A and B are shown apart, each in its own frame.
Chain A
Amino acid sequence: MISEYGGALGRRRSLPARLLASPARRLDWALLLAVLALSVIGAVLVYSATRADGSEGFLKKHVLNLAIGLILGGVTTALDYRLLRAYAPIVYGAACLGLAVVLTPVGATVNGSHSWIVVGGGFQIQPSEFAKVGMVVLLAMILGEPRDGEVGPGRRDILLALALAALPAGLVMLQPDLGTTLVFATVIIGVLSMSGAPKLWVGGLIGAAAALAVTVWWTHLLKPYQVHRFTAFADPSADPQGAGYNAQQARIAVGSGGVFGNGLFHGEQTNGHFVPEQHTDFIFTVAGEELGFIGAALIVALLGVVLWRGLRIAREAADLFGGLVATGVVCWLAFQTFENIGMTVGIMPITGLPLPFVSYGGSAAFANFIAVGLLQTVHLRHNPYE
């Protein structure tokens, strides 16, 4: 058989051709392009939300964050995810340590949550973002142990997983960071059910989560501002100066965009800073106002592509561990997407969670790109015979 690429022609292969032949060719390009598109849109929206201050500082920092994120994602992609099993305890330990440090006086409070470690030079680290990566990898490691003959993980594994997951979850709750806690809960339930755990466990866990929520609600364990945020989405006029104000202004900004939007940089609600935290948690309102339904729906669709590709990667993963890593990432990103956009359009309560790939924020960007890297590495190695 004559090689198509043989002879002189083969030696003088063009650069694209060489790239196509490399592992890069086997990357999930749809996933990557969707993420890059979201990142570009996000950078533009961050600029729109912050340019009124007369500086491009936010934009520059955001681009820098994205660049670092891309590198971290690339490194993660290059790693064989199976090696992660070995590193999982280290990732987990580092995440827990970070969360613990936040609770010491070293930690800083931003927007009511004691979630930050100030590094200096204007940079801050939010360990809870990295803890999401640690949580996914740890759960996948424990619940994805190769098993013979068993359909799902045993009771010991499940209890161990829950016990280890409880530590970072508890630390996050102490900050308090309700949003991240909910992300953890979603990831735990998602990975556990996908690991093939018995129905009783899955159902029991969902039931326990619900019962816990009700208990917390009734015993007033939540801080008043958390309750306010939670209830404001249902009735924004109840607290027009606090969380209700946010919800109302967000809804007005999104709604006033109409079908085609007011045009990029022409959002008058955006320019007037009516929506708080507009470059971070409420970035979607900029899209809604300036780009209209067309732009907002495009972002939802791009995020849909990311999640769809993630689910596909989970299904086609070479082993249970890879599948569970992908499942964890999908649960994480899916919950954050739905919660974030949901709160800006008034169908979810307000919690402090950024919109993946779009919101401003270094730690979140790094964690998100590492998550994409995890998906890619699982995808790259889905053929067990390669």
Chain B
Amino acid sequence: MGPRSHVRLVVLHVLVMSLLLSLGGRLWYLQVMNGAHYKKVAADNRIREIVVPAVRGQILDDVGRPLVRNRTALVVSVDRTALIRQRDGGRAVLQRLANLLGTRYDELALKVRLCGPGIKRPCWPGSPYQPIPIDDRVDARKALQIMERQEDFPGVTAQLEPVRDYPRTEGATAAQALGYLQPITQDELNSRKGLKVTGFSGVDLIGRDGLEAVYDGDLRGVPGDRRVLVDNRGRVTGIASEQPPVGGGTLVTSIDAKVQGIVEKALSQAMQDARHRGDPADSAASVVLDVRTGRIIALASFPTYDPSVWTGGISQDEYDALLSKQHGQPLISRATDGQFAPGSTFKISSLPAAVKDGYSLHGIYPCPSSYMVGARAFSNFEGESGGDIDLHRALVMSCDTIFYKFAYEEWLRDGGMHPVKNPKDPMEKMARAYGFGRRTGIDLPGEAPGRIPDRAWKLSYWNDTKKTDCKRAKTGYPEIAKTDPARAAYLKAISSENCVDGYVFRAGDAANFSVGQGDVLVTPLQLARAYAALANGGTLWSPRVGKAVIAPDGSVRRRIDPVKSGRLPVPSNVLTYIRKALTDVPKEGTAAGAFGGFPFDRLAVAGKTGTAEVYGKKDTSWFASFAPANKPRYVVVAMVTQAGTGATTAAPAVRQIWEGMYGLTGKPPALPDGNVPDRLPTLAPDGTVNAPPGFAVTSDDRQPAPAKDKQPVPAKDEQPTPAEDRRRAPAKEERSVPANDERSAPAHRRRPR
């Protein structure tokens, strides 16, 4: 080699050695100087914390039949974060998945996007880091393909997970009472301590309504913690530490599946029959209450829906249907959240109020066909005159004019249009004592308080509405005047009247109140517990659906008992008097038609019809009852909106319910000897449920599916006359129903007296 090469060789020598030295230096820096740091990073790298889900508890009825249970399903889920990381954002994977599952790519793409403002369902309402369940009815072959061809389906998993199952035992749906689950939202994760995302898509759900929501903490259980060693693909190579999950508790309710099934059948039958008669019958509700304990035996609301639509992600159509008015908003539990004018069923409050105010319980009062309240005549229903009658008769034949008289005279004594300083308002006070106008405190969410339209309410309502009324008093109703000048003028007159003194509690308000009309609103549950108080001697319960929570090992974790929330300020002789009067209603009074041929010797049913007029709509049909009359055990209340008189629609439904509960039509009774179990069903550690002594979980009398048996049809001649000629007192509008219903324009709210 030449001299030039030698020099360059030395340069190369130096270069090579310095490169090696720099490698050594870098190793020194990484391993010696920063070794501790990297050791810690490495530990974080390979230990994963896994939340082990606790299986959610079941919901059982009073003898241990399942209302909600779990079934194991193969759930296909998609990990959004893994999809996003893919080069095409997961498009190819979703396309393959859509092909495999027999659906379309765009449908899957909609399901895996995140819900947010302006994004309609379907979308994922849960945390972005949770796997999103796509399908929970995948057959094993497809699931296997997904798991075995992970290279084709990165970010997609198929695993066995427990999902909610609704067996509809004995035909009982109780959809609104049971409620439903929805994915935990990020907000809920942040706000509720102890909630953990498990990564098991089927379990990261939270009760969003009904019992599932109220008892979520009991049903959910405590997820376990497992720290595992993983490799780069997340495959578990070992366990570092483990804390097992504590299973969710089983909720035993006081709902009896058999009675619930009977109630639902009776209601849907009543709605069907009303529709055959030409009424819309657009909603219905029913409550069965144990008067001695305040426990709910059945709670039904129509229209209803199949709760299994929530399982495995709800589709856009299904979700729209649940919310749409066209489908009657089936999510709303009308038994607890719906507010309706109670009509004459309200008289069990007005009567003792009058007696307390000094009217003799044994007095004889005139029942003319109409009564002058101030300058306006308030008529009896159908304009009948009853002659001079006692209060017993007034209840049996449902005379209104007696109550108008009481209310008007009391109103005058309170000062009339210029009220005294502390008006007595006996009827309003008694209504509040019966628990109306406030929530019952039942263990269900979304309960409505109802409304007692007393003086304070009128004032606050006037404050809310006078601005609009006063504006309308000036401008009138030009848009209505175009087509109907008379009506526009009439509305303008009301507006100016309301503008000036809309806060005054008027004679007409008092008269309407006494018969459960006007602005009075109650929930079916409130009415049921008022009748329970009447039946049990005066105890007002805060009812409960839940009875106890049982731990997976069978021990009772906690008991849930109804709370006494008040006592009726009514002497027992007055209560006895009213109960006796109501005993005659089905026998010879307004409900005699519906109860024609009823075996009163086997079960003495007492009750009261109610026909509430609703402005612009057909009447709300009510029947509130209790039995056995001499020693009451249960209250049954039924209500059907836009369905005619109480006698026509609600009373037959209630009759059907009593017959089913006590087995009066030859079938075995739903309640053996008319009893519900006091004791709880027991849970064996293996999960089998044993009914309390004297009761059986399995039923031997499977009901045929669309049963069309013995619907008591009222005798033809006892059918009430059509609606036109029975306009009574003032017409009112319904301002009841659910909170999300739009309220009608305030100017329309009051009719002239």
Residues of A in contact with B (beta carbons under 8 Å apart):
151-152, 190, 193-196, 241, 249, 251-259, 268-269, 271-276, 288, 292-293, 296-297, 300, 303-304, 307-308, 311, 314-315, 317, 320, 323, 327, 330-331, 334, 337-338, 341-342, 345-347
Please provide the chain B residues from 250 to 296 with a CB less than 8 Å away from any CB of chain A in the complex: none
Q: Could you show 30 A-B contacts with beta carbons less than 8 Å apart? A: A194-B5, A194-B9, A196-B2, A196-B8, A251-B38, A252-B45, A254-B30, A255-B39, A255-B41, A256-B39, A257-B31, A258-B32, A259-B32, A272-B45, A272-B231, A273-B232, A274-B46, A276-B232, A288-B30, A296-B31, A304-B17, A308-B16, A314-B1, A315-B1, A317-B1, A330-B16, A334-B19, A337-B19, A338-B19, A347-B22
Contact A196 B5 (CB under 8 A): yes
> Which residues of A are found within 8 Å of B30, using beta-carbon distances?
251, 254-255, 288, 345-346
Which one, A252, A296, A297, contacts B38 given CB within 8 A?
A: A252
Please provide the chain B residues from 1 to 52 with a CB less than 8 Å away from any CB of chain A in the complex: 1-6, 8-9, 12-13, 16-17, 19-20, 22-24, 26-28, 30-32, 34-39, 41-42, 45-46
Q: Determine if B237 is an interface residue (Cβ-Cβ < 8 Å).
A: yes
> Which residues of A are found within 8 Å of B17, using beta-carbon distances?
304, 307-308
> Which of A251, A330, A337, A341 has the most chain B CB atoms closer than 10 A to its own CB?
A341
By beta carbon, the residue of chain B nearest A335 is B19
Given contacts A271-B231, A272-B45, 9 further A-B contacts (CB under 8 A): A196-B2, A249-B45, A255-B34, A255-B38, A297-B27, A308-B13, A315-B6, A320-B1, A323-B5
Q: How far is the CA of A338 from the CA of B27 in the complex (A)?
A: 13
Contact B9 A252 (CB under 8 A): no
Contact B37 A194 (CB under 8 A): no
Q: Determine if B421 is an interface residue (Cβ-Cβ < 8 Å).
A: no
Which one, A292, A304, A327, contacts B12 given CB within 8 A?
A: A327
Q: Determine if B138 is an interface residue (Cβ-Cβ < 8 Å).
A: no
Contact A193 B45 (CB under 8 A): no
> Which residues of A are found within 8 Å of B41, using beta-carbon distances?
252, 255-256
> Which residues of A are found within 8 Å of B42, using beta-carbon distances?
252-253, 255-256, 268-269
> Which residues of B are found within 8 Å of A194, using beta-carbon distances?
1, 5, 8-9, 12
B477 to chain A, nearest CB (A): 67
Contact B2 A151 (CB under 8 A): yes
> Contact flags (1/0) for B222-234 with A, using CB distance below 8 Å?
0000000111110
A292-B31, A300-B27 known; A258+B36 contact, CB < 8 A:
yes
> Which residues of B are found within 8 Å of A323, using beta-carbon distances?
1, 5
Q: Determine if B85 is an interface residue (Cβ-Cβ < 8 Å).
A: yes
B724 to chain A, nearest CB (A): 76
> Which residues of B are found within 8 Å of A275, using beta-carbon distances?
232
> Which residues of B are found within 8 Å of A314, using beta-carbon distances?
1, 9
Contact A269 B16 (CB under 8 A): no
> Which of B1, B4, B17, B231 has the most chain A CB atoms closer than 10 A to its own CB?
B1
Please provide the chain B residues from 77 to 99 with a CB less than 8 Å away from any CB of chain A in the complex: 85
> Which residues of B are found within 8 Å of A297, using beta-carbon distances?
24, 27
B38 to chain A, nearest CB (A): 3
Please provide the chain B residues from 449 to 506 with a CB less than 8 Å away from any CB of chain A in the complex: none
Q: How far is the CA of A288 from the CA of B32 in the complex (A)?
A: 11
A272-B46, A330-B16 known; A311+B31 contact, CB < 8 A:
no
Which one, B4, B16, B39, contacts A151 given CB within 8 A?
A: B4
Contact A293 B27 (CB under 8 A): yes
Contact A258 B35 (CB under 8 A): yes
By beta carbon, the residue of chain A nearest B29 is A345
By beta carbon, the residue of chain A nearest B31 is A293
Closest 9 CB pairs of A and B: A255-B38, A258-B35, A256-B42, A272-B231, A293-B31, A256-B38, A255-B30, A274-B232, A338-B19
A241 to chain B, nearest CB (A): 6
Q: How far is the CA of A256 from the CA of B26 in the complex (A)?
A: 14
By beta carbon, the residue of chain B nearest A267 is B42
Q: How far is the CA of A50 from the CA of B511 in the complex (A)?
A: 92
Contact B20 A304 (CB under 8 A): yes
A196-B4, A252-B45, A272-B230 known; A311+B35 contact, CB < 8 A:
no
Q: How far is the CA of A347 from the CA of B38 in the complex (A)?
A: 17
Q: How far is the CA of A341 from the CA of B31 in the complex (A)?
A: 14
Contact B28 A274 (CB under 8 A): no
A92 to chain B, nearest CB (A): 23
Which one, A269, A293, A307, A341, contacts B46 given CB within 8 A?
A: A269
B20 to chain A, nearest CB (A): 5
Contact A311 B9 (CB under 8 A): yes
Contact A347 B39 (CB under 8 A): no
Q: How far is the CA of A300 from the CA of B25 in the complex (A)?
A: 11
> Which residues of B are found within 8 Å of A317, using beta-carbon distances?
1
A274-B46, A311-B9, A315-B9 known; A255+B19 contact, CB < 8 A:
no
A255-B37, A297-B24 known; A274+B45 contact, CB < 8 A:
yes
Q: How far is the CA of A194 from the CA of B1 in the complex (A)?
A: 9
By beta carbon, the residue of chain A nearest B35 is A258
Q: How far is the CA of A234 from the CA of B23 in the complex (A)?
A: 16
A284 to chain B, nearest CB (A): 10
By beta carbon, the residue of chain A nearest B33 is A255
Q: How far is the CA of A374 from the CA of B158 in the complex (A)?
A: 57
> Which of A194, A255, A258 has the most chain B CB atoms closer than 10 A to its own CB?
A255
> Contact flags (1/0) for B373-388 with A, using CB distance below 8 Å?
0000000000000000
Contact B27 A254 (CB under 8 A): yes
> Which residues of B are found within 8 Å of A330, using beta-carbon distances?
12, 16
Which one, B4, B8, B31, B229, contacts A272 given CB within 8 A?
A: B229
Please provide the chain B residues from 126 to 164 with a CB less than 8 Å away from any CB of chain A in the complex: none
> Which residues of B are found within 8 Å of A255, using beta-carbon distances?
30-31, 34-35, 37-39, 41-42
Contact B4 A268 (CB under 8 A): no
> Which residues of A are found within 8 Å of B230, using beta-carbon distances?
272
By beta carbon, the residue of chain A nearest B233 is A273
A269-B42, A296-B27 known; A259+B231 contact, CB < 8 A:
no
> Which residues of B are found within 8 Å of A337, using beta-carbon distances?
19-20, 23
> Which of A251, A258, A331 has the most chain B CB atoms closer than 10 A to its own CB?
A258
B52 to chain A, nearest CB (A): 21
> Which residues of A are found within 8 Å of B34, using beta-carbon distances?
255
Q: How far is the CA of A334 from the CA of B13 in the complex (A)?
A: 10
> Which residues of B are found within 8 Å of A296, using beta-carbon distances?
27, 31
> Which residues of A are found within 8 Å of B27, using beta-carbon distances?
254, 288, 293, 296-297, 300, 345
Q: How far is the CA of A272 from the CA of B12 in the complex (A)?
A: 40
> Which of B4, B13, B27, B38 has the most chain A CB atoms closer than 10 A to its own CB?
B27
A59 to chain B, nearest CB (A): 20
> Which residues of B are found within 8 Å of A338, using beta-carbon distances?
19-20, 23
By beta carbon, the residue of chain A nearest B39 is A256
> Which of B31, B32, B38, B42 has the most chain A CB atoms closer than 10 A to its own CB?
B31
> Which residues of B are found within 8 Å of A274, using beta-carbon distances?
45-46, 231-232
By beta carbon, the residue of chain A nearest B27 is A296
> Which residues of B are found within 8 Å of A347, using beta-carbon distances?
22-23, 26
A341 to chain B, nearest CB (A): 5
> Which residues of A are found within 8 Å of B28, using beta-carbon distances?
293
Contact A311 B12 (CB under 8 A): yes
Q: How far is the CA of A347 from the CA of B34 in the complex (A)?
A: 16
Please provide the chain B residues from 47 to 105 with a CB less than 8 Å away from any CB of chain A in the complex: 85
> Which residues of B are found within 8 Å of A341, using beta-carbon distances?
23
> Which of B4, B22, B36 has the most chain A CB atoms closer than 10 A to its own CB?
B4
Contact B231 A293 (CB under 8 A): no
B471 to chain A, nearest CB (A): 63
Q: How far is the CA of A190 from the CA of B237 in the complex (A)?
A: 48
> Which residues of B are found within 8 Å of A342, using beta-carbon distances?
23, 26
A249 to chain B, nearest CB (A): 7
Q: How far is the CA of A195 from the CA of B26 in the complex (A)?
A: 33
Q: How far is the CA of A249 from the CA of B478 in the complex (A)?
A: 77
A343 to chain B, nearest CB (A): 11
> Which residues of A are found within 8 Å of B231, using beta-carbon distances?
271-274
A112 to chain B, nearest CB (A): 13
> Which residues of A are found within 8 Å of B35, using beta-carbon distances?
255-259, 293
